[in-house]
Structure 1
Amino acid sequence: MGMPAYKTEDVNKKEKSKKEFPHIYVILAVMIGLMALMTYVIPAGEYERVESPDGREMIDPASYKRIEQTPVDILGLLTAVPKGMTEAAPIIVFTFVIGGAFAVLRKASVIELGVRLLADQFRNKPVFVTPVLIFVFSGISCFIGTPELSIVYVPVILPLLLSFGYDRMTAAAIALCGTIAGFTSALTNPFTVGTSQMISGLPLYSGMGYRAVIFVVITAIAAVYVLKYAEKVRAHPEKSLTGKEAVEAVPAFKAGRRVKWAGIAALGLFAGLIGCVIYFRWDMLTMAGYFLALGIIPAYIAGMSSRDIAESFNEGFKEVLVGAMICGIARAAAVVMADGQIMDTIVYGLSHAVSQLPSYLTVTAMLFTQMLFNFFVPSGSGQALIMMPIMAPLADIVGITRQTAILAFQFGDGFSNIVFPTSGYFMATLAISRIAWNKWLRFILPLFCLWMGAAVLFLLFANAVGWS
């Protein structure tokens, strides 16, 4: 006799459940739980805090001391997520605002206009769309240091890429790999290079020439790697890591005069954002306020009513809700370590281990030490304030230039941002792209290894020539 239908369905459900990858909330919850357990194992300790050259709080590297253990209990574990959301409020607000602003621009047909122009430009040569977009996104990020914009890029470029026969992985890769290549090479990134150089006593944005070479090489590696995958998917859709997508042509669209002026206004406002971040060193909340104007002004020019603008903001908020939640939940791991007072102990242990090595090994060890620390504190400026007061004098002791130490910090902080699940904006971008973390790892790990190999070579050369 055959198996009853209900039993067959039950077996299929069980097999499906076994194959499903855990939800991102579950992954982050496990990470937070592990951090809580570490507070019972790792000794508590602290550095004294002093004022940095730009008025922010940083650590005194010679002041570390052991203190009484304060392990995180069940209540502390449960409240870590609300605290994480509070601490990540600027990132969460930024995510909501840019989601809302770009929903308004879509409603005003400004995004559709941009996609239409790109489609016309690359219609007969789609092979160029991947490297061009990667270099554009990388260029923006290397100047203003906002890889969080990848959250916005994906929904903008996805319709275009699907119409050319690419997939969701290609869209996510263009946005994430492009922004992180620029963020890591960082010509004038105020959040990493600017903060680190001020702490280290170096001229602001000095060493730009060598970093420009790094920018070209790192971005080119990303462009070639992503292009190779994208063209494979276009030729053989069954090889896509995200499954077959509905391939539709970009619909016919004829922009009216007001929409064209709205598009010009949006481009002008975005260019103004880049300039203001570079020259005025705007923080994330200031940029969020600017994005409100970037959404509202072009919408009014395009002829949208106040009510339509408000409703479009609501639609945009809904679209990025999961991404914003992930940013706050991911922050909870750092909250647990801070409450358990083990963060400074981890910093002390890592820096002490690095200091025992010869200079040609120390510079590489700095890279991997910073990468490890980035798992716990996925914030470029936050890491700079914690690590550079230690790494700068350590570089002097072992015979490494401070400029090279900052470069090691950039590499260690940058590349791992699109690998570690504690990186909020990265996991938010994957959520918006509807890509599971394990599938992303299958795609990104070979590129990550290529990047890390290039980083080691760049650091060894910088150390050999005494780059300063």
Structure 2
Amino acid sequence: MSNGEKIEKVKTSFQGNGSEKTKVRKTPHAYVIMLIIILIATILAFVIPSGTFDRVEDSATGKTLVIADSFKYVEKVYVNIFQAFQAIPKGIQKSSSIIAFIFLISGSVQIIKGTGALDAAIINLVRKLKGKDTPLLVVIIIIFSLLGAIFGFAEETMPFIALGVAMGTALGYDRVVGFHIVRTAAWVGFAGAFLNPFTIGVAQSIAELPLFSGLLYRLLCYAVFMIIGFWFILSYAKKVKEDPKNSIIYGYEGDKDFKLDENFNKFTTRHKLVLLVFLFNIIFLLVGVLKFNWYTTELAALFLGFGIICGLVGKLSPNQIAKEFTKGMSEVTFGAIIVGFARAIVVILEEGVVLDTIIYGLSRPLLNISSSVAGVGMFLVQWVINFFIGSGSGQAAATMPIMVPLSDIIGITRQTAVLAFQFGDGITNMCWPSMIFYLAMADIPYDKWFPHIMKLVISLTIAGMVLVAIAGVIGYGPF
């Protein structure tokens, strides 16, 4: 059997249109899941007392910080059903920069894909590997984990999800493996980060610690997390390769087609030129993020500009470029708009003035436990709070002003409190419903993803508890 036939057989198995297709099982739609959570948030906003912390702007960081001992209950604010539905368009408005980023990035990548360069490169790579694909998976996992650990890549991984999925399926795996080597790898790196400016940098500045101090212990933590991540991803990949029925999405008929276009099976000089331009795009991305603090607006503009250049280099006409751009945007509408639904949860809790009450209530029990387990308690509190505050820097600004003086009182180092925050914020990013829009880009149902990824989340949580406990025992510092 030729390599091309192997690729086609794999795609047939996982696209749900071949002889191996099983009976379709109905799964809850992502919007149904989000509406249920929005309803739960509305009930919480109704029953939880309203309360608030006083806040002050930190002149050093420009962030609004909580004053730790300022919590007070206020007159109850209720959120009715109509207001809960209004929270959805409000959430979309508040998430407009991310939504625009998703649309523009996806449209730009589709222009590049429309030249055939990406499909031809992946097909050519798969044929050259000839079954030696595990080293490739390892290299890609390491690259994206480092992007998460050093640069705090999150939304920045979106342009690469579809490419990872296409490569994964072409190599004989399923879409989940392709998603893992890009997005899950970045999540693991983000959770075990050692230089992430958006979490470690912000948290340490609030805790008045030297920036990026405690690096050696965090490098150890990153190594532990990566060992667990490698075991999880590669063992799943091996099971799927041995038998497609081991895939968590086996029998699921998706709406998106990730098949590579066999018409581009010849890797031409023009394809190489397109990819060279795309490489310059990635270099500019890294420089912009590191040196100029670029985020969604700048990165979307960067990809749009380079996408058009790639289209012209690939000999696409202006009309073809426009059609590919429109196609790319239309394919991610579901995933883009669901960002606003996820943000609606926070909008409801904020309008009910209960978000601070939740943070205050979760932090109080830590005063009643011994210092030897207080760090682990902080970690678990941050683990839960991450459900309500999806932004890493936002969670740091909201919780660290409380956790820092709390750590002083109960006798653990501030560095341990920062580590507890880092793990609590990072590990659960891959399981809470607020990340459904990432799954939408790989057409993976959340109800199948959740029990699968919880195995990794639980493993990392146990490792995190041990590492935070050790940090407490050794007086992880400098203070």
After TM superposition, the score normalised by the length of structure 1 is: 0.90
Mapped to 2, the partners of 1:349 and 1:326 lie a distance apart of 29
Q: Aligned Cα RMSD in Å? A: 2.3
Mapped to 1, the partners of 2:318 and 2:449 lie a distance apart of 40
Shift of 1:347: 1.1
Mapped to 1, the partners of 2:40 and 2:455 lie a distance apart of 27
Q: Which residue of 2 aligns with 1:436?
A: 445
Aligned residue pair count = 449
Letter in 1 for 2:385: F
1:68 to 1:445, Cα distance in 2 relative to 1, 3 A = same
Shift of 1:173: 2.4
Aligned match for 2:142, one of 135, 148, 151: 135
Q: Which residue of 2 aligns with 1:451?
A: 460
Shift of 1:436: 1.7
Deviation string for 1:219-270 (max 9, x for gaps)?
2211221111111111112222211699989846333334322312211221
Q: Where does structure 2 lack aligned partners over 5 or more consecutive residues?
A: 1-22
Q: Which residue of 1 aligns with 2:305?
A: 293
Aligned match for 2:57, one of 51, 69, 76: 51
1:50 aligned counterpart, secondary structure: strand
Q: Which residue of 1 aligns with 2:111?
A: 104
Q: Which residue of 1 aligns with 2:470?
A: 461
Aligned runs of 1:121-132 on 2, under 5 Å?
122-132=129-139
Deviation string for 1:172-202 (max 9, x for gaps)?
2223320101111223322211211222222
Mapped to 2, the partners of 1:344 and 1:321 lie a distance apart of 33
Aligned runs of 1:53-452 on 2, under 5 Å?
53-116=60-123, 118-120=125-127, 122-243=129-250, 251=262, 253-421=265-433, 423=434, 426-452=435-461
Shifted more, 111-120 versus 80-89: the winner is 111-120
Partners of 2:338 and 2:437 within 8 A in 1? yes
- Structure 2 residue 30 is matched with structure 1 residue 24: yes
Shift of 1:383: 0.6
Deviation string for 1:401-420 (max 9, x for gaps)?
22221111111111111111
1:195 to 1:289, Cα distance in 2 relative to 1, 3 A = farther
Mapped to 1, the partners of 2:260 and 2:328 lie a distance apart of 24
Letter in 1 for 2:45: T
Shift of 1:291: 2.4
1:301 to 1:205, Cα distance in 2 relative to 1, 3 A = farther
1:255 aligned counterpart, secondary structure: coil
Q: Which residue of 2 aligns with 1:39?
A: 45
1:58 to 1:288, Cα distance in 2 relative to 1, 3 A = farther
Letter in 1 for 2:374: T
Shifted more, 391-400 versus 341-350: the winner is 391-400
Partners of 1:108 and 1:302 within 8 A in 2? yes
Mapped to 1, the partners of 2:314 and 2:260 lie a distance apart of 25
Partners of 2:203 and 2:400 within 8 A in 1? yes
After TM superposition, the score normalised by the length of structure 2 is: 0.88
Shift of 1:138: 0.8
Partners of 1:101 and 1:296 within 8 A in 2? yes
Mapped to 2, the partners of 1:415 and 1:298 lie a distance apart of 36
Mapped to 1, the partners of 2:301 and 2:260 lie a distance apart of 35
Q: Where does structure 1 lack aligned partners over 5 or more consecutive residues?
A: 1-15
1:394 aligned counterpart, secondary structure: helix
